[in-house]
Chain A
């Protein structure tokens, strides 16, 4: 049982380039989330999904897009990379929206935009 996996672990992009951050979970969770964490800051929600085909914006969605075609996968797309998108990106999942339900985090992708 791998839990939540993310690829790549590290990436350097040039300004204006595009890339997709991959996220896969094998726990059959309906809810999935993308966060970014800047140095010394808490996690900010970028996008989330409550099931296949359903996505919605979080607190900081500008510059990102997502899709959810299967229960397992929730990729995050950066179309025109900017230095402000330099951050560590975490994907997470949870099974329900019940009180106390836990979000499980992937290992993160460290992205630098130069």
Chain B
């Protein structure tokens, strides 16, 4: 059973601070890793993906991947109240069925003005 674990939160950070969201996964064969943002009552929307060890930056967002530790994180710099949402980590396996994603339960982020 492939598992993706996230701290459910809520994680509260003041406006302008760095928010750090973490995710661990059980399948060592996982190939790529996605962060989705989901506002209350809305559908998930992709923030970014990463598949190589190290950091990947996109604007205020940085994804970090450590395959040896089976750990992926998302950093949000200069957090804004509009970043308040649930962040879903999703993992994609390698090989047959590799297009299927396994999602974590999500971490709820609250940015306090």
Please report A residues at the B interface, Cβ cutoff 8 Å: 31, 33, 35, 40-45, 48, 50, 58, 90, 94, 96-97, 99-108
A43 to B88, CA, bound (A): 9
A sample of 15 inter-chain contacts (CB < 8 A) reads: A31-B99, A41-B105, A42-B104, A42-B105, A43-B101, A48-B100, A90-B43, A99-B31, A100-B51, A102-B34, A102-B49, A104-B46, A105-B45, A106-B43, A108-B43
User: Quick one: which of B28-72 are within 8 Å of A by CB?
Assistant: 31-32, 34, 42-46, 49, 51
- In the bound complex, residues from chain A placing their C-beta under 8 Å from that of B80 are none
B99 pairs with A97, CB closer than 8 A = yes
A113 to B43, CA, bound (A): 21
User: Are A42 and B100 CB-contacts (below 8 A) given A102-B46, A106-B43, A108-B43?
Assistant: no
- In the bound complex, residues from chain A placing their C-beta under 8 Å from that of B31 are 99
A43 pairs with B103, CB closer than 8 A = yes
A104 to B36, CA, bound (A): 10
Closest approach, in angstroms, between the C-beta of A52 and any C-beta of chain B?
16
Indicate if B8 sits at the interface (CB-CB under 8 A).
yes
- In the bound complex, residues from chain B placing their C-beta under 8 Å from that of A45 are 100-101
Closest approach, in angstroms, between the C-beta of B39 and any C-beta of chain A?
12
- In the bound complex, residues from chain B placing their C-beta under 8 Å from that of A48 are 99-100
A45 to B93, CA, bound (A): 14
Partner of A101, one of B42, B99, B105: B99
Q: Mark B1-20, 1 if CB is under 8 A from A, else 0.
A: 00010001000000000000
Closest approach, in angstroms, between the C-beta of B83 and any C-beta of chain A?
19
A105 pairs with B44, CB closer than 8 A = yes
